Amino acid sequence: MSNEPPNQPPSDKPHGADRPQRADQSAARAGRRPSTPKFVHKHKPRPGSGAPEGRVFLYGLHTVELALSNPRRRVHAIYATRNARARLEERGVTFPVEPEEVAVRWIDGRVGEDAVHQGVLIETETLDAVSLADLGRARLILALDQVTDPHNVGAIMRSAVALGADALLTATRHSPEETGVLAKAASGALDLLTHIEVVNLAKALTTLRQEGFTVIGLDSDGPVPLEDADAGKRSVLVLGAEGKGLRPVTREACDTLARIDVPGKIKSLNVSNAAVLSLYVVGKKLGIG
């Protein structure tokens, strides 16, 4: 916890950060080459997150509320404006650590002025990995084949929770890491939806087929409309990246390929919209909702 005066954001400078500068100025006057500063940051920021390695900044009232209610979350710090803290308290949020009051501009400096943080930011460890064996009695799983845009994936996670999916399956490579951008787009779904990352997506789909799942790949050239596809008793819906679609190795791991027929002049859908429609159709087949 910072020892600075109340209501002031904690300093970003390590202890003694000004000393190397003074030493360098003295060296310059003496005609010597400035020395290399001996202090270093303890944690290396994760690319795209701004948080220390192994941790992530999550922001926004709804995102933070659900993150704090997730027992799997390990929260290290909470930063909030006075108003944001009051709003969280009104919602009955329990704080695992005491929030530190900061100004809006301090949060802007961590996540960017364009981030809709609503005056609250938490520093938390990323969620622990979940394995296929943890799926239990799941009935509807959504798998993404190299869908990399965090806004799309976040929106898909939000829709998956809303439409009753039990889990999201992605490959470790070619999928977005857990960041504040992803969490904000998911609007809390990051802490509600089981997310499983696997090294080999095709192999994981084959394993799920052996466990009794029917794997349906979405393909614009699929031989049957999705409404007519056999969903079995447990289903995995597989969506590919926009433009590229499913990779050949992923297509081969599916039980069937199905298309979404639309009546309008534009015959393709954004991947997040296709996820909504396909989850709704297959969910109805499974009696979900």
Nearest alpha carbon to residue 183 among 77, 46, 60, 91: 60
pLDDT in tens, the chain (289 residues): 444 444 444 544 444 444 444 444 444 444 544 443 332 333 333 434 567 777 999 999 999 999 999 999 999 999 999 999 999 999 999 999 999 999 999 999 999 888 999 999 999 999 988 889 888 889 999 999 999 999 999 999 999 999 999 999 999 888 888 888 999 999 999 999 999 999 999 999 999 999 999 999 999 899 999 999 999 999 999 999 988 899 999 999 999 999 999 888 887 889 999 999 999 999 999 999 7
CATH of region 55-125, choose from 3.30.1330, 3.90.1200, 3.40.50, 1.10.3470: 3.30.1330
Domain coordinates in residue numbering, the chain: 55-125, 132-285
Fold match, 55-125 / 132-285: no
Residue 251: its H or E element:
helix 248-252
Beta strands in the chain (DSSP E): 55-59, 75-80, 100-101, 120-125, 140-145, 167-171, 194-198, 214-218, 224-225, 235-240, 256-259
d(C-alpha 264, C-alpha 279), whole Å: 20
What superfamily would CATH give domain 132-285?
SPOUT methyltransferase, trefoil knot domain (3.40.1280.10)
Alpha carbon 240 to chain centroid distance?
18
CA separation for the pair 83, 106 (Å, rounded)? 15
Reduce the DSSP state of residue 156 to 3 states and report it.
helix
CB-hemisphere CA count at 13 Å for 234? 15
User: DSSP letters along 16-68, please?
Assistant: TTTHHHHHHHHHHHTTPPPPPP----SSPBPTTT-SBTTEEEEESHHHHHHHH
pTM of the model: 0.78
Long-range contacts of 107-112 (CB under 8 A, 24+ apart): 107/59, 107/79, 107/81, 110/50, 110/57, 110/79, 111/50, 111/57, 111/59, 111/180
